Amino acid sequence: MNLSFFDQFMSPHLLGIPLILISLLFPALLLPSPRNRWVTNRISALQSWFIYTITKQLMTPLNKKGHKWALILSSLMIFLLSINLLGLLPYTFTPTTQLFMNLALAFPLWLATLLTGLRNQPSASLGHLLPEGTPTPLIPALIMIETTSLLIRPLALGVRLTANLTAGHLLIQLISTATAVLFSIMPAISILTACVLLLLTILEVAVAMIQAYVFVLLLSLYLQENI
């Protein structure tokens, strides 16, 4: 029983082909194809408004130099949001519950922000490793602590996203299993757990959206430190 709860996090295969690739490409099929006109229908108008809102929220803490990253950050936000929400549907697979995928997204972008800072303002970037006014005996220890804190940022990004989504999926499966088992034994308790399951599902929709936003927002803040 314990193993079956975690079967949903295993990457599915068909004829030896990992279906995680299809899971990653499927959200792009849901977006309307571009047309010659600016706005063709309500879906395109809603899509344009949604992308504009996301881009505005992500670019607010950045200066003009950081606006060059608008396309990358907005695309990553929509990509993560689509995958997280689609993963809440029954009989689906959520790629963002895999730590290796989240690290593959977090590490290159974090490294790009770090290299951008080292290229454009090396003194200011290295200055973050040593706070101003630090006593001389504490300088080596603080440099080691700040360096460690800097290096674990991509790991923290990946683990945060993986842990939150994995915990939510496990809770939904546990409560849904309890609801099905109790239905024939104690119908009243089963109805109560079904209500809890509904509330938890609504909460998980919010968590899926918030975690996608937090992932990209932290990357934008790391970028702001280096530009």
- Count CB neighbours of 165 within 10 A: 26
pLDDT recorded at residue 4: 64
pLDDT recorded at residue 207: 92
Q: Answer whether 51's CB lies under 8 Å from 31's CB.
A: no
Please report, in tens digits, the pLDDT of each residue of the chain (227 residues total): 444 666 666 666 666 666 666 666 766 666 666 666 666 677 777 777 888 888 888 888 788 888 888 888 888 988 898 888 888 887 777 888 888 889 999 999 999 988 888 888 877 777 777 777 777 787 788 888 888 888 899 999 999 999 999 888 888 888 888 888 888 888 888 889 999 989 999 999 999 999 999 999 999 888 888 87
pLDDT recorded at residue 156: 92
Interior/surface letters 30-67, b for 16+ CB within 10 angstroms, e for the rest: eeeeeeeeeeeeeebeeeeeeeeebbeebbeebeeebe
H or E segment to which residue 18 belongs: strand 17-18
Interior/surface letters 174-206, b for 16+ CB within 10 angstroms, e for the rest: ebbebbeebeeeeeeebeebbeebeebeeebee
Residue 224 CA to residue 118 CA, distance in Å, equals: 13
144-152, Cβ contacts within 8 angstroms, sequence gap of 24 or more: 150/114
pLDDT recorded at residue 1: 45
pLDDT recorded at residue 18: 66
